[in-house]
Structure 1
Amino acid sequence: MSQATQGNRPLDGLRALVTGGASGIGLATARELLWQGASVAVIDAAPSAPEGVELAGFASADITDDAAVRAGVEQAVGALGGLDILVNNAGIGAQGGVEDNDDDEWRRVLDVNVIGMVRVTRAALPALRRSDHGAIVNTCSIAATAGLPQRVLYSASKGAVLSLSQAMAADLVADGIRVNTVNPGTADTPWIGRLLDRADDPAAERTALEARQPHGRLVSAEEVAAAIVFLASPASGSTTGTSLAVDGGMQGLRLRK
């Protein structure tokens, strides 16, 4: 977590909504926002709020359901008394090459990862437009900019998120709303944990995932959260339409071995 302390917190007075905030990167982001002084509400498909986190509000909602999203955002904005920061983090994974996922799986993943982000954003925009510090941060992935094996569907969805975010930034800059993305590398999250559990040799698979990132390990959820909150902060007030890789150098470094 950051070194912000009580009485000198950069996000004091700001109000944030995090989707997918009950676990993994979303939960780490909610905690970091709280640590830096923001009031935080969460929307997640989980039936109940995460324990040990002092949230202003929690709504259990399926982001493929527009009515549920609108109700959840309305509930969150009401609990917070407004909205300054939206973190679109909810998403699902997918494995396989181009021939491995059927049409229904393509529709499901795109519905959650792309259209779900659209649903939440358009429901939140009226409140964000009333803020003096409106900011949206979308969780993307290094898969949007680097070709990864057996991730065709997931990569396509995150490529769409990257383009969506840049177009949103262009549309919303006149409203005083900044839009940026964070592109994590392979992060140590519950989803990766489940993938490792299903592998024939989980230890070998983890070693392989760690080795493809130049710094030699998985990215932590807290590291991704720190980047998200950095972009959401008013201190980044001139940063919009940008993607920030948190990937141990995976995208940009080519090391000799």
Structure 2
Amino acid sequence: MAATRRNRKEADSTGRIRIGIGGWTYEPWRGRFYPTDLTQKRELEYASRKLTSIEINGTFYGTQRATSFEKWHDETPEHFVFSLKAPRFATHRRVLGEAGDSIERFFASGVLALKDKLGPINWQFAPTKPFDAEDFDAFLKLLPKRVDGRAIRHAVEVRHESFHHPEFVALAREHGVAVVVAGDSDYPQIADLTASFVYARIMGTVETETLGYSEQALNAWAVRAKQWVVGAQPDDLRTVLPNAPEPMPHDVYLYVISGYKASNPIAAMALEERLTDR
């Protein structure tokens, strides 16, 4: 069943759940996820019709061409959404409050050519970067809420245990920025709801499972996604603050990342199956 056949009425009354993977070019997916006779230039077209979102990783390492964003927009279905990993030049620095120029260059690079298919921006920090309240607040103030009239959603992926701190969660809520939920990994898990959307990256696929994850694990993540979309906070994930905000509809972006990468698209499709009306 196509991923786009989600229950529209439910999506309108709550939020929307999007399931995806990181990137779309990976040789082990050819013949496993992609048909053997599919040309490489049609892989994005194919993947975007099996899933509902993709996290673009190349933007983390360097500037992409505006023409590339235009091409990706045109190759994907109407309701498909890309998230983008923000450039490491903005996040991998000693003083975050000095990242303004890097942030401005990123948004001027052509990302808005994705138009309505531009989803959240994931600002990923190094595992060695500790929490500094003053500097992190300065960084969050640099993140634009709108660019050329288009609303921008931001998520921060922190990977140092010091961020498991009430002041960090309070800052994220103050700025309306989502904290990326790390799933099935060694990174600190902070599942507090801090924005109008949830951004999760689950990293536990293994070679020994046909679908990448066990049935039990897939069902558990599907349940959590259904809780998030109506504004509930799953009680089996680690949070910082004891009380969740008042429930409200949330969009959910859940990406199957890392782990046994060869199985990630299959695991993502298995999650879609559990979240799509039959």
Q: TM-score, normalised by structure 2?
A: 0.35
Pick 1 or 2: higher relative contact order, CA cutoff 8 A, min separation 6.
Answer: 2
Q: TM-score, normalised by structure 1?
A: 0.37
More helix by share: 1
